Amino acid sequence: MSETVVTTIFDETPAGKAYERRETCYDLKRDSLRAHNRYRKDHGSPPMVWNDDLAKNAQEWAEEIAVKGLLVHHTQREEGENIAAAGQKAGFFTGRKAAELWYSENEFYDYNDPGLNIKAGHFTQLIWAESLQLGVGKALSPTNGMQFIVARYFPAGNEKLDFPDNIKPKGTPPPEPDNQSEE
């Protein structure tokens, strides 16, 4: 992945001095993948791997919604999707911060009544065990300064009948690797 700058914003220190902050595609990839895999491990989900095609799709959608200045999901359903936005006053919005925001919805998920919960949909997509590939994009709105982060997942999560198999409580150990050799 290239070192192309995807975001440059001007932030302020606590003392009120402005400074330029840059984030490369590599930074976004590293931060996003680490945060996702840390949360997934806590719930017994296998680690994700980066997918450049998903990242390209996420970047294109992030740019489109940034131009509109609206937080809206894409109509495609082949890939899972999480979206987050933050204003400039929130500081520099990273892949880690977006994952933290999505993960915070865990308080709304009821493990005793598994299923789709609109208040926890970002959380469940983040830790969905069968979603094994991740791509993330980020864009800055030219009109209102909002920072948009879009994550795409494959296979898509939040399938109605599969919640018990894919969403486990915190502290669930990861599955044992399949060490059986084929004969």
Cα–Cα distance measured from residue 105 to residue 122, given in angstroms and rounded to the nearest whole number: 7
Q: What is the pTM of this model?
A: 0.84
pLDDT in tens, 36-62: 999 999 999 999 999 999 999 999 999
**Mean pLDDT of all residues belonging to the chain:** 86
State the DSSP string of 5-53: EEEEEEEE-TTS-EEEEEEEHHHHHHHHHHHHHHHHHHTTPPPPEE-HH
pLDDT digits (tens, 9 = 90+) for 95-154: 999 999 999 999 999 999 999 999 999 999 999 999 999 999 999 998 888 999 999 999
pLDDT, tens digit, for every residue of 143-153?
888 999 999 99
pLDDT of 12-23, one tens digit each?
A: 444 544 444 455
Per-residue pLDDT reduced to its tens digit, 55-64: 999 999 999 9
Report the relative pairing of strands 133-140 and 49-50 from DSSP bridges. Answer: parallel
